[in-house]
């Protein structure tokens, strides 16, 4: 039964029990009325009234030096329940406002993500939905990727450079260039070299350029679930830069 107004001690006790506040209360009877015994100990000094950490002679600002260690006060059961109910209602209202505020902020964030994804060609989706679709695409791509060429055989390849990460080489002051490439069938080829990579007299191959080259297949490997063909001793035959390819298209 919902108790809207606490007008009697019986209703007060019923509401406190229903709200889980009744157990642990110290209740005394005086002149036929019920009172809740509440500690009146100073919360600032712990009841002593004095402390070396206070200025002005060490007197507590709250109780002004009174000893309140064993002091208590008596509040009528009905009044106690009315105040407890008011505090509970205020707390519930604040929590509802907090939840509503957070929900509105979350909706604004989601709407912002959808606006960004739509403006950048991903459709009106959230970042989580975009990432999930990308993960599905990656897994589907892994299933179609294969090895190319024959191990230890030198042959021609054509692929587009998608990344060239670098790191310090094994010899002094040297750098390793890792050319990560994808052919027209989506198969990955990897060539690690200590020189400048693919280059002609006028151009050096960069990310986005397409190269036709001769190389020896070192091994058919796998990384992060993706099949990749590792090549060595690559020699450039033809370089088609990204800019040239875009103009031709």
Residue 55's pLDDT is what? 60
List the single range of 51-65, 190-204, 209-223 with lowest mean pLDDT.
Answer: 51-65
| DSSP summary character for residue 202 | S
Report, as an integer, the average pLDDT of 192-211: 85
- Domains belonging to the chain, first-starting first, are 1-144 (no CATH), 146-248 (2.40.50.140)
Percent of the chain with pLDDT over 70: 93
Report, as an integer, the average pLDDT of 217-224: 93
In this prediction, residue 182 has a pLDDT band, given cuts at 50, 70 and 90, of very high
Is the separation of the CB atoms in 180 and 232 below 8 Å?
no
Q: Considering the chain, what is the average pLDDT of its residues?
A: 90
Residue 52's pLDDT is what? 65
Is 90 exceeded by the pLDDT of residue 197?
no
Report, as an integer, the average pLDDT of 126-147: 91
**For the ranges 94-103, 204-213, 221-230, the one whose mean pLDDT is highest:** 94-103
In this prediction, residue 144 has a pLDDT band, given cuts at 50, 70 and 90, of confident
Find tokens 């100073």 and name the residue.
42
Residue 53's pLDDT is what? 62
Going from the C-alpha of 182 to that of each of 84, 116, 148, 234, the distances in angstroms are 70, 29, 11, 15
Is the separation of the CB atoms in 40 and 3 below 8 Å?
no
Q: What is the largest CA-CA distance in the chain?
A: 108
The pLDDT tens digits for 51-103 are 666 565 678 878 888 888 889 999 999 999 999 999 999 999 999 999 999 99
pTM: 0.55
CA distance 206 to 199: 9
Residue 60's pLDDT is what? 84
Is 80 exceeded by the pLDDT of residue 246?
no
Is 80 exceeded by the pLDDT of residue 196?
no
Residue 114's pLDDT is what? 97
CA distance 198 to 202: 11
| DSSP summary character for residue 78 | H
């Amino acid at each position: 039964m919902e108790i809207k107004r606490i007008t009697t001690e019986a209703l007060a006790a019923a509401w406190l029990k229903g709200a889980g506040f009744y157990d642990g209360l110290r209740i005394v009877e005086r002149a036929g009325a019920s009172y809740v015994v509440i500690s009146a100990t100073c919360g600032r000094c712990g009841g002593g009234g004095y402390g070396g950490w206070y200025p002005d002679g060490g007197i507590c600002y709250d109780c002004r030096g009174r000893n309140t260690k064993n002091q208590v006060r008596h509040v009528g059961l009905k009044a106690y329940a009315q105040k407890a109910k008011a505090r509970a209602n205020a707390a519930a209202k604040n929590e509802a406002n907090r939840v509503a505020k957070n929900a509105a902020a979350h909706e604004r964030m989601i709407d912002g993500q959808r606006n960004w994804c739509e403006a950048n060609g991903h459709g009106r989706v959230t970042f989580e939905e975009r990432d999930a679709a990308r993960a599905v695409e990656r897994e589907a791509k892994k299933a179609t990727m294969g090895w190319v060429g024959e191990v230890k055989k030198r042959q021609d390849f054509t692929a587009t450079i998608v990344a060239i990460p670098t790191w310090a080489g094994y010899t002094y002051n040297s750098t390793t260039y890792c050319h990560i490439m994808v052919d027209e069938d989506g198969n990955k080829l990897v060539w690690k070299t200590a020189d400048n990579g693919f280059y002609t007299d006028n151009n050096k191959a960069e990310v986005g350029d397409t190269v036709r080259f001769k190389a020896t297949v070192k091994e058919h490997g796998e990384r992060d679930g993706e099949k990749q063909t590792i090549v060595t001793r690559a020699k450039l035959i033809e370089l088609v830069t990204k800019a040239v390819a875009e103009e031709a298209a």
